[in-house]
Amino acid sequence: MSARETILKTITANKPSLTELPAIDLVEVIQYNDLLQQYKTVLQSIGGGTVELQDINSLKEELQTKKANGDFVLNRIASLGDVEESIAHLTAPDLAAVDTAYVEGTIAVAENGAIWLYESQMGNRLLPFICQHLVIVIEKKNIVATMHHAYQQIESAKDGFGVFLAGPSKTADIEQSLVIGAHGARSLIVYII
């Protein structure tokens, strides 16, 4: 028996038994009087911004204006117009020139400002991280209090990839000076319908 086989056999023999996950009582976790206000406050504190809309038409006009101005815009939201469907095969150099990406979010979390995005919503898992400016649209009814609530509503195995994304890219590891947009989107605006 090879060393590799011996190691794998030993690991298999010493595998710990499964432990049940604890049951979380959602009544006992943190609650907010105003989910929308909490979400907006937290997202602003981490460098993002929010805009409340009654309908999506004004955002559609913004997207059309950007395209008319020659900006490289990728739209992944059907209600905003033509959706760029065939971007899954694009590589980082192809997507590096994207100025603004429009993506629909699934669930927004008031406690930390995160939004869940499925890979199917992104079209390409690189898109929200490589574009210069990220615009996410979320419905107000899809804002939940905590990550516990969010995990109850998402299907983590639905797509091959999904991510909770909170705010624009930021780092403070160089001389403890906050830099926004160092290794990802320089801005994040969440439009709440």
Strands 170-171 and 73-75: unpaired
Asked if pLDDT for residue 148 goes beyond 80, the answer is yes
C-alpha pair distances (Å), 136 with each of 33, 69, 112, 176, 184: 24, 21, 16, 29, 15
Cα 92 from Cα 183, distance rounded (Å): 13
Contacts of 132 (CB under 8 A, 6+ apart): 98, 99, 100, 181, 185, 186, 187
Domain ranges of the chain: 24-192
pLDDT at 22: 86
What is the CATH number assigned to the segment(s) 24-192? 3.40.50.10420
pLDDT at 99: 94
In this structure, are residues 93 and 146 in contact, taking their beta carbons and an 8 Å threshold?
no
Model pLDDT for residues 40-95, shown as the tens digit of each residue: 999 999 889 999 999 888 899 999 999 999 999 999 999 998 898 889 889 999 89
Model pLDDT for residues 101-139, shown as the tens digit of each residue: 999 999 999 999 999 999 999 999 999 999 999 999 999
Strands 115-118 and 143-144: unpaired
Model pLDDT for residues 182-192, shown as the tens digit of each residue: 778 899 999 99
Q: Which region among 57-61, 116-120, 154-158, 170-174 has the lowest average model confidence (pLDDT)?
A: 170-174
pLDDT at 154: 93
